[in-house]
Chain A
Amino acid sequence: MINQDFGRQTTSFHALKRHGAKIWRVLHTDPPLLVGILLLCGFGLFVLYSASDGDEVMVRRQTMMMVVGLVVMFLVAQFNVHFYRRWAPSMYAAGLGLLVLVLLVGEVVNGAKSWIDLPGLPRFQPSEIMKFVVPMLLAWYLASRPLPPRFKHLFWSALMIALPVGLIVLQNDTGTAIMVFMSGVFVILLAGIRWRIVITGLIAGLLASPAWFVFLAQAHQKNRILTFFDPSRDPTGAGYNIIQSQIAIGSGGVYGKGYGNGAQSHLDFIPESNTDFILAVLAEEFGLLGVLLLVCLYLFVLVRGFYIAYAAKDMFSRLLAGSITLTFFLYVFMNMAMVSGLVPVIGLPLPLISRGGTSVVTLFVGFGLLMSIQTHDRKRYS
């Protein structure tokens, strides 16, 4: 069942060799995307080494994580994307089950009850799975409906999003909930939802936000938002992170202070300098040029993602590829904008640069799906 093309491809090996690029199709790997990812990983490890003050153990562990991620990506890419389409509802149901299970028997880490330790499996966060299962399910659902989607389809779609998001909110993991929510919303947007609905939704959101702020927002969330508008409100408390990270970025200037010379990070003025605020370290040591290089690498990966979505042969693949790419962008942008003070502080890592475990693997699952979309022939599958 794995790669039914395999026999055909290997028998015509010589023919493939003549078209050298085709070997990547055999491996179900997209070379431009792989190159972009590897460059980002390399750059990330390089920055992390400095941000962690030369902590080789940490860098080695992160490297291991990336290798695991690449292997996962490779494995995911071996399956035809329509295999995932078929299994999307089942995976969604299983994911929901795990989310409920987490609420019952999960472990609390950093205030969020999101980890689960099932026998025979490494400890993981079921909410991470939802980051790709939710867009998969929506793509499965909407791809087979006439587009732009009708209102009742939108209703069911909204429910599909709301269920897992609600469960994740109950885990007290707002950051992940937002990402899962957005990954689903991207599918709906790409599926051609009418603009008047989008605009109505935006206006409703804007109108509701003060109510949210007053009645629902937790103290730390209110704090972050107030701090965003006036960082000097509490310079040693809530505003400290953002003030110090802006100082770090700004003092880097155009050319940076040089690798390993970031005073702000090495003297511990930047909190979370190897996770959420690693961009500040990068910007301080490599300057504006370093940040632009990073942006270019991300753009390279994003453009390839868009191309894969553009070139995809069917609507499911298009919607899934588009959503994965946009979700990846959202990660990148939210982190960079937060660290540079463009948006309020949200605890999101910088993809492939920040130190992190499960979320890295999730990213690679997404890349694996993109590669699967790019390298499998739909007709052969069906």
Chain B
Amino acid sequence: MSGKWQLKDHEAERQLFLRRLTIAAAIVMLLFAALIAKLVNLQIYQYEYLSARSDGNRLHSQYAPPARGLIFDSEGALLADNQPIFNLTVIREQVQDMDATLEFLASLISLTDDDVEQFRNRLQRNRVPFSSVTLRYVLTDEEKSKIAVNSHLLAGIAIEPQFVRSYPLGALTAHSIGYVSEVNRRELDSLSEEQRENYGGTNHIGKTGVERTYEQLLHGTVGYEIVEKNNRGQVMRRLDRTDPVAGKNLSLHMNARLQIAAEQALGEFRGAIVAIDPATGGILAMVSKPGFDPNLFVTGISSKDYSELVNDVVNTPLFDRSINPYPPGSTVKPFIGMAGLQHELVDYEFAIQDPGYFRLPGVSYRWGDYTLRTAIGGGHGHTDLKKAIYQSCDTFFYDLGHRMGIDTMHGFLSQFGFGDNFTLDISYARTGVLPSRDWKMESRGEPWYPGDTVNSSIGQGYMWATPLQLATATAIMANKGQVVQPRMLKAVDGVPFEPVTDNPRQDISVSDPDYWRYIHESMTMVVHRPYSDVFRDYGTAFEAIAMADREMPYKMAGKSGTAQVVGISQEILSSEDIEVSDLNKDHGLFVSFAPSMHSQIDPQIAVAVFVENGEHGSSVAGPIAKAVIDTYLLDILELDFAELDRQAEAELLAADRMVAQSND
């Protein structure tokens, strides 16, 4: 402890301390100067840059998706609506541990592996950072409250309301209206740069049917809003907003009541019905049965539901029968007859003696009469064109077709839309086959044989047509050659829609307009020519239609058809659930328009009915067509045929009086 007692020079020590204190003060000032320099650098020289970074932190431009246009039927009933649902969404950037969070959520609400898988797929897609991705659609109230209670444990998880499509008629419009579903990568890639921008806030896009055809009209224009978000991505304020422009509301020619009636008329059968307004070509009803619930697809169909739909090889609910081709069978006979008249291969007097079969010159093979397979043998006897139509005499048409040749047949029938897509807005409809020499050479590599013509003349062989095509051809027939092109869309936002087509079809002109009346009469006799003492001289559909309903206030023209089942896949044959014999049954077809042969009113509706494995055209498909026509004429148009008939009578009387007066 010697140091403690050493002599201290207090003044020297004070001077030493003060020197040190001065140095310390100088260092303090230096350091403050450095600090201020740093702040000046940040707040003056880097101000612009850091200011922009600050705005970039908080200001976000986000899309305001437009409301999708609604779809109405011709009477204003909703076919496609927008309904609010509540979705569980995730902002990935804010979730600490995705697996743990998903596990926790699964303990709160039902969350299938499927949901999780779809969610992970959505995460894979290109997306804006801090945007929300849907984990599960359509939360129930109970699930919403469970999430809300646990929200403090669920960072990055939110419940977001969303408007999604709903289809009130469900399976009834699954094929014709189609459905929307989540936009996929491929669809996004196919959009132009501008369109992609427009889809920035949109999750759904029309996948099939009207929803797809008129996607552009229905979608609308995206809006934008500038929002201020905090560090957790919550929107604090809306600073600027460009409102989205809602999609256009579409009105269709389709009539919901008729659509329902058509679906019910098919009963337990699989099949398709297409009804067209001959005046406009507007599609009044278009049913393919069985359908499926399109609402399932809107919020992401589960793979279980989807595989059920896909694996149902018998009912094939996803398959749209109304626009897929089948052999049209005898339903083509009126058109071939018309071709015969126009090309003067037959006239009103021409008749054959039908032995019940047809033989090509020099060929021993006999083409039998299918319609007589179960009848008592022999032919139809003396048969003219009219009888050949209402009795559906194959032999007559074998002969006519053979004499006509495939080139004439092809040329004439193509005017009715066979082998072609006449529609204005159903681009995805199949064209079927209207065979020709070129077609056969191209697709089969074989020349055309005369026997092919014989088969084609009764709508078998290579000839294939869709129910939609049959309805179209029937409508043109009802119009006496004035071509109408089938269309779904009637009006956009209440303004009548006039589609532009770059390929307008020519009206069919025939040398004598009376030919139309003649065919109309023949087709009317299919339904209305009663049984008589004369052997085989009744309409094939008389019993099933006119006889079944003797009170029928109007006349309808029709033609039945039966199409052979062409091939059944091995898969179906090996299935144990169904009786294969049922699937081997012929398809029943019926084309019709009504009212026919009416002096006061033109045909109002043309219908094609296709009944899969229905076995008979006239007895099975015929009454179905009549039910559809009844609903349209009597319930929907509410035509008063008694009154119309009275008018017709009065006119007739007046005309008679005129004739009588002029004779005086």
Q: Are A192 and B24 in contact (CB under 8 A)?
A: no
Interface residue? A100 (CB, 8 A): no
CB pair B18–A248 under 8 Å, yes or no, is: no
Contact of A251 among B32, B36, B50, B232 (CB under 8 A): B50
A residues in contact with B366, CB < 8 Å: none
Known A-B contacts A146-B8, A250-B51, A251-B51; A269 and B58 likewise in contact (beta carbons under 8 Å):
yes
CB proximity to A under 8 Å, residues B235-252: 236
> Which residues from A are CB-within-8-Å of B122?
none
B residues near A331, Cβ cutoff 8 Å? none
Within 8 A of B (CB), among A249-293: 249-254, 263-264, 267-269, 283, 287-288, 291-292
Residues of B within 8 A of A251 (CB): 47, 50-51, 53-55
Which residues from 148 to 191 on chain A have a C-beta closer than 8 Å to any C-beta of chain B?
148, 150, 152-153, 186, 189-191
**Option from B8, B21, B28, B231 in Cβ contact (under 8 Å) with A269:** B231
Q: Which of A148, A299, A333 contacts B16 (CB 8 A)?
A: A148
Contact A189 B20 (CB under 8 A): yes
Please tell me if the beta carbons of A267 and B229 are within 8 angstroms of each other in the complex.
yes
Contact A322 B28 (CB under 8 A): no
Verify B13–A190 contact, CB threshold 8 A: no
B449 partner residues in chain A, CB cutoff 8 A? none
Residue B6 CB within 8 A of the other chain = yes
Query: Is there an interface contact between B21 and A322, defined as CB atoms closer than 8 Å?
Result: yes
In the complex, which residues of chain A have a beta carbon less than 8 angstroms from the beta carbon of B24? 186, 189-190, 306, 322, 326
Q: How far is the CB of B47 from chain A (nearest CB, A)?
A: 5
Check B17 against A253 for contact (C-beta < 8 Å): no
CB of A340 closer than 8 Å to a CB of B: yes
What residue in chain A is nearest B231 (Cβ atoms)? A268
For A190, give the chain B residue with the smallest CB separation.
Answer: B20
Inter-subunit contact B6/A248 (CB<8 Å): no
Quick one: CB contact mask for A326-343 with B, threshold 8 Å, 1 for yes? 100100010011001110
B377 contacts chain A at the CB level, 8 A cutoff: no
Q: Report chain A residues within 8 Å CB of B231.
A: 267-269
Q: How far is the CB of A156 from chain B (nearest CB, A)?
A: 10
How many whole Å from A46's CB to the nearest CB in chain B? 19
Most A CB contacts (10 A, CB to CB) among B50, B58, B232 go to B50
Is the CB of B44 closer than 8 A to any CB of chain A?
yes
Query: What is the CA–CA distance of A318 and B40 in the complex, to the nearest angstrom?
Result: 35
* Chain B 1-17 near chain A by CB (<8 Å), digits 1 or 0: 00110111110011011
Closest Cβ of chain A to B236, distance in Å, is: 6
Contact bitstring A224-264, B, C-beta under 8 A = 1, else 0: 00000000000000000000101111111110000000011
Judge whether A291 and B57 touch: CB under 8 Å: no
Name the B residues within 8 Å of A250 (CB-CB). 42-43, 46-47, 49-51, 53-54
Residues of A within 8 A of B31 (CB): 329, 333, 337
Partner of A249, one of B10, B20, B43, B49: B43
Chain A, range 275-323, C-beta contacts under 8 Å to B: 283, 287-288, 291-292, 295, 299, 302, 306, 309-310, 315, 318-319, 322
Q: Name the B residues within 8 Å of A254 (CB-CB).
A: 43-44, 47
- Identify B35's interface contact among A148, A263, A336, CB under 8 A: A336
CA distance A364 to B49 in the complex (A): 40
Q: Given A247-B57, A250-B50, A340-B35, decide whether A267 and B8 contact each other with a Cβ distance below 8 A.
A: no
Q: Which secondary structure dominates where chain B touches chain A?
A: helix
Q: Which residues of A contact B49 (CB under 8 A)?
A: 250
Confirm or deny: B552 has a beta carbon within 8 angstroms of a beta carbon on chain A: no
On chain A, the number of residues with a Cβ less than 8 Å from chain B's Cβ atoms is 51
Chain A residues with Cβ below 8 Å from B35 are 295, 333, 336-337, 340, 342
The CA of A315 and the CA of B17, in the complex, are separated in Å by 8
Residue A211 interfacial (CB < 8 Å): no
Interface centre among B21, B230, B231 (most CB of A within 10 A): B21
Chain A stretch 186-209: residues in CB contact (< 8 A) with chain B: 186, 189-192
In the complex, the answer to whether A253 meets B13 with C-beta atoms within 8 Å is no
Contact of B51 (CB < 8 Å), options: A253, A299, A318, A329 = A253
Contact mask A24-46 → B, CB, 8 Å, 1/0? Answer: 00000000000000000000000
Contact assessment for A318 and B36 in the assembled complex, using a CB-CB cutoff below 8 Å: no
Q: Flag whether B39 is at the interface (Cβ < 8 A).
A: yes
- Which residue of A189, A267, A302 is within 8 Å of B236 (Cβ)? A267
For B59, the closest partner residue in chain A by CB is A263
**A318–B49 alpha-carbon span in the complex (Å):** 47
Q: Which residue of B lies closest to A287 (CB)?
A: B43
Closest to B17 in A: A318
The residue in chain B whose Cβ has the minimal distance to the Cβ of A268 is B231
Smallest CB separation, A295 vs chain B (Å)? 6
Contact assessment for A283 and B39 in the assembled complex, using a CB-CB cutoff below 8 Å: yes
Q: State which of A147, A288, A309, A326 has its C-beta within 8 Å of the C-beta of B13.
A: A147
Q: Which of A288, A319, A333 sits near B40, CB closer than 8 Å?
A: A288
How many angstroms between the C-alpha atoms of A145 and B8 in the bound complex?
A: 8
Q: Does chain B have a CB within 8 A of A144?
A: yes
A309→B43 CA distance, assembly (Å): 35
Whether a CB of chain A sits under 8 angstroms from the CB of B116 is: no
Q: Does B38 contact A (CB under 8 A)?
A: yes
How many Å from the CB of B638 to the closest CB on chain A? Answer: 65
Query: Bound complex: CA of A135 vs CA of B238, how far in Å?
Result: 56
Q: Are A249 and B8 in contact (CB under 8 A)?
A: no
State in angstroms the CA–CA spacing of A291 and B40 once bound together: 10
Which residue of B is nearest A153, CB measured?
B3
Residues from chain A with a CB closer than 8 A to the CB of B8 are 146-147
A341-B46 Cα distance, complex, nearest whole Å: 13
Give bound CA distance, A263 to B239, whole Å.
Answer: 14
B34 within 8 A of A: yes
Known: A192-B13, A319-B17. A263 touches B44 (CB 8 A): no
Q: Does B320 contact A (CB under 8 A)?
A: no
Q: Are A306 and B50 in contact (CB under 8 A)?
A: no
Interface string of B51-80 (1 = CB under 8 A from A): 101110110000000000000000000000
Question: Do B44 and A253 have beta carbons less than 8 Å apart?
Answer: yes
Closest chain A residue to B24, Cβ basis: A326
CB atoms of A267 and B230 under 8 A apart: yes
- Do the beta carbons of B50 and A247 come within 8 Å of each other? yes
CB <8 Å contact, A315 and B21: no
Q: Which residues of B contact A264 (CB under 8 A)?
A: 54, 57-58
Bound-state CA distance A150–B20 (Å) is 17
With an 8 A cutoff between CB atoms, is B228 at the interface? yes
**Hey, which chain B residues are within 8 Å of A299, CB to CB?**
32
Residues of B within 8 A of A269 (CB): 57-58, 230-231
B31, B39, B47 pick with most chain A CB within 10 angstroms: B39
Residue B25 lies at the interface, judged by CB distance under 8 Å to chain A:
yes
List CB contacts (< 8 Å) of B351-395 with chain A.
none
The reply to whether A192 and B16 form a contact with Cβ atoms under 8 Å apart is: yes
Inter-chain contacts of B16 with A (CB < 8 A):
147-148, 192
Report how far A267 CA is from B57 CA in the complex, Å: 9
* Cβ contacts A to B, 17 pairs, < 8 Å: A145-B4, A146-B9, A192-B17, A250-B43, A251-B51, A251-B55, A267-B229, A267-B231, A288-B43, A288-B44, A292-B36, A306-B21, A318-B17, A329-B28, A329-B31, A337-B31, A340-B42
- Beyond A267-B230, A267-B231, 6 additional contacts (C-beta under 8 Å) are A147-B8, A253-B43, A263-B228, A310-B18, A333-B31, A337-B38
> Which A residues contact B (CB, under 8 angstroms)?
144-148, 150, 152-153, 186, 189-192, 244, 246-254, 263-264, 267-269, 283, 287-288, 291-292, 295, 299, 302, 306, 309-310, 315, 318-319, 322, 326, 329, 333, 336-337, 340-342
Task: Please list the 5 inter-chain residue pairs (A to B) with the smallest Cβ-Cβ separation, ordered nearest first.
Answer: A250-B50, A251-B54, A268-B231, A267-B230, A192-B16
